[in-house]
Chains A and B, each alone.
Chain A
Amino acid sequence: MPLLELICPAGSLPALKAAVDHGADGVYLGLKDNTNARNFAGLNFDEKSLKEGIRYAQGKGRKVLMALNTYPQPDTLPRWHKAVDTAADLGVNAIILADPGLMGYAVRTHPELRLHLSVQGSATSYEAVNFYRERFGIRRAVLPRVLSLPQVENVVKNTEVEIELFAFGGLCVMVEGRCLLSSYACGDSPNTFGACSPGHAVRWEQTPKGMETRLNGVLIDRYADNEKAGYPTLCKGRFEVQGETYYALEEPTSLNSLEMLPEMARMGIAAVKIEGRQRSPAYVAQVTRVWRAAIDSVKRAPEQFKALPAWMAELAKVSEGSMNTLGAYYRPWK
Chain B
Amino acid sequence: MKLALGPLLYYWSREDTLAFYESALSWPVDVVYLGETVCSRRHLLRLPDWIELAEKFADAGKQAVLASQTLIESESDLKALRKVVADRRFLVEANEWGAVRLLAEARHPFVAGPTLNAYNPDTLALLADLGATRWVPPVEMPRDMLASMPVPAGMETELFAYGRLPLAFSARCFTARHYNLQKDDCQFRCIEHPDGLVLASREGEDFLCINGIQTQSARVMSLAHRLDELKAAKVDLLRISPQARHTERIATLFRALLDGTLAPADAPAKLAPLMPAQPCDGYWLGEAGMAWQPERHLEEITP
Contacts and interface: CB of A to CB of B under 8 A. Distances in A.
Interface of A: 71-75, 77, 98-102, 104-105, 121-128, 130-132, 134, 145-148, 151, 154, 173-175, 177-181, 183-187, 189, 191-192, 216, 218-222, 235, 237-242, 244-245, 248-250, 328, 331-334
Nearest to A134: B101
Given A73-B119, A240-B199, A101 B126 contact: yes
B261 interface: no
B277 interface: no
Given A73-B145, A179-B168, A180-B140, A122 B101 contact: no
Contacts of B78: 125, 127
Nearest to B139: A180
Contact of A331 (B97, B98, B184): B184
28 contacts: A74-B145, A77-B122, A99-B119, A100-B126, A101-B122, A101-B126, A122-B97, A123-B97, A123-B98, A124-B96, A174-B215, A179-B168, A180-B167, A181-B208, A183-B288, A184-B289, A184-B290, A185-B207, A185-B289, A187-B289, A192-B119, A220-B201, A221-B202, A222-B202, A239-B200, A332-B182, A333-B171, A334-B171
B227 to A, nearest CB: 23
B241 to A, nearest CB: 15
B102 interface: yes
B201 A175 contact: no
Nearest to A216: B288
A196 B167 CA distance: 13
Interface stretch (B14-22, B54-62, B65-73): B65-73
Nearest to A127: B98
Interface string B151-175: 0000000000000010111111110
Contacts of B289: 180, 183-185, 187
Given A191-B138, A239-B207, A241-B197, A104 B119 contact: no
A132 B184 CA distance: 31
Contacts, number: 215
A222 B197 CA distance: 22
Interface string B123-155: 111100000000000111000010011100000
A146 B71 contact: yes
Nearest to A122: B96
A105 B283 CA distance: 28
A22 to B, nearest CB: 32
A128 B165 contact: no
Given A74-B150, A104-B126, A151-B73, 11 more contacts: A77-B122, A100-B126, A132-B97, A174-B170, A178-B168, A183-B283, A183-B289, A185-B207, A185-B290, A216-B288, A239-B207
B286 interface: yes
The 3 closest A-B pairs by CB, nearest first: A101-B122, A127-B98, A146-B171
A327 to B, nearest CB: 9
Interface residues of B, number: 68
Contact of A125 (B72, B139, B200, B283): B72
B31 to A, nearest CB: 24
B130 to A, nearest CB: 9
A187 to B, nearest CB: 4
B77 to A, nearest CB: 7
A42 B268 CA distance: 44
B203 interface: yes
B117 A240 contact: no
B282 interface: yes
B100 interface: yes
Interface in B66-115: 70-75, 77-78, 81, 96-102, 115
A220 B289 CA distance: 17
Contact of B74 (A151, A177, A185, A245): A151
Contacts of A334: 171-173, 182-184
A75 to B, nearest CB: 6
B73 A146 contact: yes
Contact of A328 (B98, B140, B167, B172): B172
Given A128-B72, A183-B289, A184-B289, A71 B120 contact: yes
B219 to A, nearest CB: 9
Contacts of B72: 124-125, 127-128
Nearest to A131: B101
A125 B126 contact: no
A221 B277 CA distance: 23
A251 B140 CA distance: 26
Given A125-B78, A242-B197, A102 B122 contact: yes
